[in-house]
Amino acid sequence: MKKSDFYFDLPQELIAQHPLADRSASRLLVLDKVTGKVQHKIFREIVDYLEPGDCLVLNDTKVLPARLLGVKEGTGAAVETLLLKRLEKDIWETLVKPGKKARPGTILRFGNGLLTGEVLDVLEEGNRKIRFSYEGIFEEVLDRLGEMPLPPYITHKLEDKNRYQTVYAKYEGSAAAPTAGLHFTEELLKKIGEKGVETAYVTLHVGLGTFRPVKADNILEHHMHSEHYEVSKETAEKINQAKQSGKRVICVGTTSCRTVESAADENGCVQACSGNTEIFIYPGYRFKALDALITNFHLPESTLVMLVSALAGRENVLAAYRQAIAQQYRFFSFGDAMLVC
């Protein structure tokens, strides 16, 4: 299976640069995964496609304001540091630009010295291991100095940090938002609950690997990035109850999907567990627990388009994308949504 099998031509002007004022006012393309039939709706109408007893699975990770702009001590040269993964209390795996200015022993200063970082080591793929020093609480310092690590295709500045968080974000640790969840408001979640739909929360901390392009022409040669996830006993029970009752498990976003599928056994029973997952879902994959998916529109040739194609079929997905482009849907993180059911 080739990377080029998942290519489509996307006009630049369809890449959403700003979130809508009303989260739930985004458009919603509903794709029948069996027939390929498409309907065009508004996201708040998602309630009409959910049934009592269904289990809606959401990722409650919270995005760190992980982008730090600073200088190299001694020369004053500008550096940008992106926090990727906490390794120990004050030691992080980071991405530093430009990397040549961040050799081991280099001191980086942020916020006129409110936060400093010492480069300890150069890791795989050129990432840097940095020990941070500060006074007070690291998260409070980060909230003061850090910016949201928006994807590279968003070139406009985000005025409100909270618009790159879901309304149910709880556990800090992500370098990117689980963007399918950005469409939900507290009011919409309340309506969903009133209809008798169960909501269950998993945690998967989204890494920057979610934006890494597939470089291998043969997709089977692509190595997925590792991401930490947790599934509670309560969530596992809710998902399994829905399955046993003949109801659907509907994942919000590819991160929730990858978490549920990583925690499910071959019989589709989800276990309460935590760990790291490198699961790569592409056409031919047999879903163990997931029945339907709410997701955004993804980059051409990305692992995310491959995942959606595994659920609905490559031809159905690319045909739906062609319709979305013709109908001027907004794409990517701040764009519109798709329900595959």
211 band by pLDDT with thresholds 50, 70 and 90: low
- Residue-wise pLDDT tens digits, 153-172: 898 888 898 999 999 999 99
3-state secondary structure of 296: strand
* Res 115: pLDDT: 98
Q: Which residue has the higher pLDDT, 223 or 320?
A: 320
* Res 174: pLDDT: 92
Q: Which residue has the higher pLDDT, 100 or 138?
A: 138
User: Tokens representing 297?
Assistant: 């529109």
Residue with token string 């795996």: 93
Handedness of CA 254, 255, 259, 260 (dihedral sign): negative
User: Tokens representing 44?
Assistant: 């708040």
Query: Is-contact 324 237, C-beta < 8 A?
Result: no
Distance of alpha carbon 194 from its chain centroid, rounded?
27
Q: What is the distance between the alpha carbons of residues 24 and 30, in angstroms, rounded to a whole number?
A: 15
* Res 301: pLDDT: 96
* Res 31: pLDDT: 98
* Res 125: pLDDT: 81
299 pLDDT more than 70: yes
* Res 27: pLDDT: 98
* Res 192: pLDDT: 98
209 pLDDT more than 90: no
210 pLDDT more than 80: no
223 pLDDT more than 90: no
Query: What residues pair up with 293 in beta bridges, in sequence order?
Result: 251, 340
Closest CA to 178 of 189, 186, 170: 170
For 220-226, the CB contacts below 8 A with 24+ separation are 220/1, 222/280, 222/303, 223/278, 224/278, 224/279, 224/280, 224/303, 225/278, 226/276, 226/277, 226/278
**CA end-to-end span of the chain, whole Å?**
24
* Res 157: pLDDT: 84
* Res 195: pLDDT: 98
- Residue-wise pLDDT tens digits, 86-114: 899 999 999 999 988 899 999 999 999 99
Neighbouring CB atoms inside 10 A of 315's CB total 10
- Residue-wise pLDDT tens digits, 140-150: 999 999 999 88
Angle at 131 between CA 128 and CA 133, to 5 degrees: 140
Q: What is the distance between the alpha carbons of residues 206 and 179, in angstroms, rounded to a whole number?
A: 10
Query: Is-contact 102 131, C-beta < 8 A?
Result: no
Phi, psi of 322, deg, nearest 5? -65, -40
Share of the chain above pLDDT 70, in %: 99
This prediction's pTM:
0.92
* Res 208: pLDDT: 73
Question: Distances from the Cα of 310 to the Cαs of 87, 253, 286, 323, 340, in angstroms?
Answer: 33, 14, 8, 19, 11
Neighbouring CB atoms inside 10 A of 67's CB total 17
Share of the chain above pLDDT 90, in %: 90
280 band by pLDDT with thresholds 50, 70 and 90: very high
